Copies of this chain bind each other. A is one copy, B any other.
Amino acid sequence: MPARVTTLKELAAQLDLSITTVSRALAGHQQIALKTRERVTEAARQAGYVPNTAARTLVSGRSGFVGMVLPIRGPNLVDSFLGEFVTGLGEGLVSHGTDLILAAVAQGQSELSVLRHVVESGRADGVVVTRIAEVDERLAYLRQRNFPFVAHGRLLDIDFAYNWLDTDGAHAFGEAFDMLYDLGHRHFGLVTIAEPMTFRHLRQDGLAAAIARRGDPSVRLDVAMAPRFDRGARIQAINRLLHGAERPTAIVALFDELALSVMEEAARAGLTIPRDLSVIGFDNIAASAYAPPGLTTFDASIRQCAREIGEMLLTVIGDRSAAPLTRLIRPTLVSRASHGPAPTG
């Protein structure tokens, strides 16, 4: 069995003081004589005393934890930025000594039920919710429960105010269109996913808005929709786009994984990028830098976003009555070699 944990009671006995005094001394209360405070602090340091989290949580009602439900993934797919996200979140939380709780979802269980469990058991003082769906029962629950949370992403119909941070995909896709238009492209392809996630709409709408802004009737947009996690179907959708009656000269993909697939299929079809086809992605995952000829994309700086989300959540936990915090991050263009002038003729 593990060596005995030092407790307040033991420390108090050793110092011939009451538990109360020791507790207060360690908390730095002014009412305790300075000499006593120092004596206690030193003894605690020597004994390697660390207050018991459970006891503290029980009495204070604060756990010092922030929760997050691990995204569910198929056997061979991992959230490509989970690592970055978690790292950033840790950075954002560490200043307050807050730790992160990751709760996995068991087979056949719902993400909501896990979230509920985290909340109701008092494990966490607040939670982070990622991958927001168009209609998101998690947000509905948290709101009704009035539990502190920050969402990474937005709802579509914002019928209530809440704390969120999002990357401005609409802006990025508008920027992508403008850049490609200026390079002479008129026939565009968009590869998107079938899942009801908000970011899909925001990005597509951003693209559509930019097209509308330009007001050029010769601009054409073909949309290919692929299930997110079915690789075969994804390839099929992409090839329909590539081998249609008329091929777009520029393809914008909802995120890098799709863009990389587009580049692979284009290569397989004998197309040279960017001479025959321009491709632009979103996220800037590691592989995008390596995939020839280097994918032009937008950096979503997940780590930085997650760090801010952590900080926001700490704020929300600290002051539950504060006005909702919202933050829209503008992703930066990472210009590599997968885009160029529209092919002539």
Contact = CB atoms under 8 A, between A and B. Distances in A.
Contact of A122 (B1, B54, B106): B54
A79 B84 CA distance: 8
B78 A83 contact: yes
The count of identical subunits is 2
A2 interface: yes
Interface stretch (A132-140, A160-168, A282-290): A282-290
Interface in A55-114: 55, 57-58, 63, 65, 70, 73, 78-87, 90-91, 93-95, 99-106
A71 to B, nearest CB: 8
Contacts of A285: 286
Interface string A132-170: 000000000000111100000000000000000000000
Interface stretch (A45-53, A222-230, A240-248): A45-53
Interface in A34-51: 48-51
Contacts of A145: 2-3
Given A70-B90, A290-B260, A5 B102 contact: no
B73 A82 contact: no
Contacts of A57: 53-54
Nearest to A88: B78
Given A55-B58, A260-B290, A286-B287, A83 B79 contact: yes
Given A94-B106, A285-B286, A120 B50 contact: yes
A336 interface: no
Interface residues on chain A, size class:
35 or more
A322 to B, nearest CB: 14
Nearest to A65: B101
A82 B78 contact: no
B101 A93 contact: no
A291 interface: yes
Interface of A: 1-3, 5-6, 48-55, 57-58, 63, 65, 70, 73, 78-87, 90-91, 93-95, 99-106, 116-118, 120-123, 144-147, 260, 285-287, 289-292, 303, 320
6 contacts: A48-B120, A78-B87, A82-B86, A83-B86, A86-B102, A100-B104
